Amino acid sequence: MPALDDTSCRPLNASEFEKIRRLAYDTFGLDLRTGKETLVSTRLGKHMRQSGCRSFDEYYQFVVGDSTGKSLINLIDALTTNHTSFFREPAHFDFMRKVLLPEWKNRGKIDIWSAACSSGEEPYTIAMCLLEELGTIAPGKVRILATDISTKVLAKAGQGTYPAERLEGIPDSQLRKYWLRGEGEWAGWYRAKKDMRALMEFRRVNLLEPVSQMGRFALIFCRNVMIYFDKPTQQQVVKRLGDCLEPGGYLLTGHAESLTGISHGLEYVQPAVYRKGSSGGREKG
């Protein structure tokens, strides 16, 4: 077998970087700037070796030619972070409890979308807030659509099983109500109870692709993913999400993600909270 070249320990050259940069930008919107060559080669080096490729050019061809899409998911996972946690950015959950849930008590149906949900901590936190405030939820009243581009993290989200240390931010009373403590070989793990899992639907969705078939939502969480996109892509994504909001619906972004400079047609409510006008018409951004 020919020896590996030294690709694994050198940054990508300009043409290799350009190919990876273009692929990441076109497929999932990642805005990789010049200067990130070392970071990209470090992050992709392991996948390149695991795929048996001897150069980044070979690895690029391998990813593009993989019709299962698995190599592309590995590349996305390597270049972005799936970091998330229960009750992350708690101001949003306070807003849900104080403002939205009282309004929603007498609603027929509540549709919520956790876009870019990673391994599921965000949609399960949403579910716990709903269950806490609304009590028992009639079948079909609530739908929490949890989506991500990465099938790897989505599989974790769908299982709803987490090591105990991941659940440390959850108040004890909610842990007992909504989580099953594992025993035997599952000691040290928790699984979301059936009632909570029944509220969820998991789907792979790339935010760069049309999302209009997703339905209309009273609330969309799209947090900590737009940081990867450049302004034109953010603009496109926010426009698509806005179109998926029902009149009066809310869009929540990460607190580090400003919509400044983006024409979005939504009203600013408070940091990282935006609302679509009740008429549903497009207002000045």
Ligand X SMILES: C[S@@+](CC[C@H](N)C(=O)[O-])C[C@H]1O[C@@H](n2cnc3c(N)ncnc32)[C@H](O)[C@@H]1O
Q: Which residues bind ligand X (CB under 6 A)?
A: 28-29, 76, 80-84, 88, 116-118, 122, 148-150, 153, 206-208, 223-225, 228, 254
Tokens of 166: 């991941």
Closer of 116 and 245 to ligand X (Cβ):
116
The span from the CA of 168 to the CA of 86, in Å, is: 9
Taking every pair of Cα atoms in the chain, the longest distance, rounded to a whole number of angstroms, is 68
- Least Å distance between CB 54 and ligand X? 28
Structure tokens belonging to residue 21: 């940069």
Residue, CB closest to ligand X = 84
Please report how close the Cβ of residue 140 comes to ligand X at its closest, in angstroms: 25
Nearer to ligand X, 111 or 122 (CB): 122
The identity of residue 8, as a single letter, is S
Q: Which of 21, 88, 148, 240 is catalytic?
A: 148
Pick between residue 7 and residue 214 the one whose CB is nearest to ligand X: 214
- Active-site option among 31, 43, 49, 230: 43
* Nearest CB to ligand X, comparing residues 15 and 213: 213
148 belongs to the catalytic site: yes
43 is catalytic: yes
The DSSP string of 212-280 is: GGG--EEEEEE-SSGGGS-HHHHHHHHHHHHHTEEEEEEEEE-TT---TT-----EEEETTEEE--TT-
Residues in the chain: 285
Instruction: Provide the annotated active-site residues.
Output: 43, 148
